């Protein structure tokens, strides 16, 4: 069950002013009074309150991060010279609750499952998905098809769908595939540029964030492109190497621009009319690879987030 008390602990912070149109001071800007708390992962990993205060950080680069309903943080750690990638769950005091170390090149993605296990995507000579129990035992292994030797980009995101299958973005192959539990590809689409994030919608369509394509694509159930969102479609905003997307309960879409260096907008929120209603900008922080919006103006978002 979703615990609101956990997410309400991220409310404290400092006041921010609404941005003047066209100006991009550091922090959150919104002419609609929107303020978000969020977890950011990438070169820097941190939690920002909806009032702009950094509440938590982790010293290692991460590929993915989740704040779980119990308040713990699940992170996919980047590989280092001496260690392959790993998955860790820790409490806010950074005490390790769970850790799983990969045995190949790196870990591309991870998330927790409804049955209490963890879904882990491992890249390497034998790319695969693994369901790992809390005691570290691999309960299921699913092979992933990839011709790419760019091991780090074989798998960038994995999610389990309601039908039990797995939705996987394969960056180097520029494809999104749905695998069943035996590793058979049951659905596949080619993307414009490298896909970083894919979200299966309630209506059966699939939303895909394409990094090098600088766009967001939506595919119907048959795999045909239903629509494409590019910079030219956005009112007073831009898409720059879109790495991550989250759909909010109010119908808005939050986008991470992975090439947002310096004072460029790292996170951008669009309403249903494709108008920019909120941005996050901080020239002192690197670009964001993945993120999770935790609350809006102090009100926690329901679990699980659609991202």
Peptide bond into 278 cis (omega under 30): no
Summary mean pLDDT of the chain: 91
Query: What's the mean pLDDT in 113-117?
Result: 96
* Mean pLDDT along residues 258-266: 87
Q: What average pLDDT does range 89-109 have in this prediction? A: 96
pLDDT tens, 31-80?
A: 999 999 999 999 999 999 999 999 999 999 999 999 999 999 999 999 98
pLDDT value at 236 more than 90:
no
pLDDT band at 307 (very low <50, low <70, confident <90, very high): very high
Percentage above 90 pLDDT, the chain: 85
Model confidence, pTM? 0.90
pLDDT attached to residue 25: 56
Question: Mean pLDDT over residues 16-40, rounded?
Answer: 72
- Residue 11 above 90 pLDDT? no
User: What distance in Å separates the CA atoms of residue 80 and residue 4, rounded to the nearest whole number?
Assistant: 36
Out of 6-10, 129-133, 189-193, 273-277, pick the least confident: 6-10
Q: CA 122, 92, 50 angle in degrees (round to 5)?
A: 100
Average pLDDT over residues 200-216: 96
Check: CB of residue 171 under 8 Å from CB of residue 180: no
pLDDT of 194: 96
> CB–CB of 197/157 below 8 Å?
yes
pLDDT recorded at residue 190: 98
Report which of 160, 194, 165, 199 is spatially closest to residue 179, judged by C-alpha positions.
165
Segment 143-176, tens digit of pLDDT: 999 989 999 999 999 999 999 999 999 999 999 9
Nearest to 43 by CA among 307, 287, 291, 245: 287
């Amino acid at each position: 069950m979703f615990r609101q008390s956990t997410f309400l602990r991220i409310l404290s912070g400092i006041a921010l002013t609404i941005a003047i149109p066209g100006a991009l001071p550091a922090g959150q800007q919104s002419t609609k009074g929107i303020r978000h708390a969020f977890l950011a992962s990438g070169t820097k990993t941190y939690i920002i309150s909806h009032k702009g205060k950094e509440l938590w950080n982790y010293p290692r680069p991460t590929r993915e991060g989740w704040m779980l309903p119990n308040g713990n943080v699940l992170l996919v750690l980047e590989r280092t010279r001496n260690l392959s990638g790993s998955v860790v769950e820790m409490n806010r005091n950074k005490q390790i609750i769970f850790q799983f170390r990969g045995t190949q090149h790196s870990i591309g993605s991870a998330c927790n499952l409804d049955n209490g296990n963890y879904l882990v995507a491992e890249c390497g000579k034998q790319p695969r998905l693994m369901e790992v129990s809390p005691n570290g035992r691999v309960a299921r292994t699913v092979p992933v098809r990839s011709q790419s030797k760019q091991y780090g980009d074989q798998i960038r995101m994995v999610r389990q769908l309601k039908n039990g299958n797995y939705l996987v973005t394969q960056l180097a192959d520029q494809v999104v595939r749905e695998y069943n539990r035996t590793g058979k590809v049951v659905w596949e689409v080619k993307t414009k540029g490298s896909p970083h994030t894919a979200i299966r919608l309630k209506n059966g369509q699939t939303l895909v964030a394409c990094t090098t394509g600088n766009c967001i694509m939506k595919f119907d159930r048959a795999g045909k492109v239903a629509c494409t969102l590019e910079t030219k479609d956005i009112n007073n905003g831009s898409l720059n190497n879109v790495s991550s997307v989250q759909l909010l309960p109010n119908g808005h879409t939050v986008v991470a621009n992975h090439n947002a260096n310096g004072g460029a907008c790292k996170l951008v929120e669009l309403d249903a009319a494709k108008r920019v209603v909120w941005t996050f900008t901080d020239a002192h922080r690197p670009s964001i690879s993945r993120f999770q919006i935790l609350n809006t103006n102090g009100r926690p978002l329901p679990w699980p987030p659609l991202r």
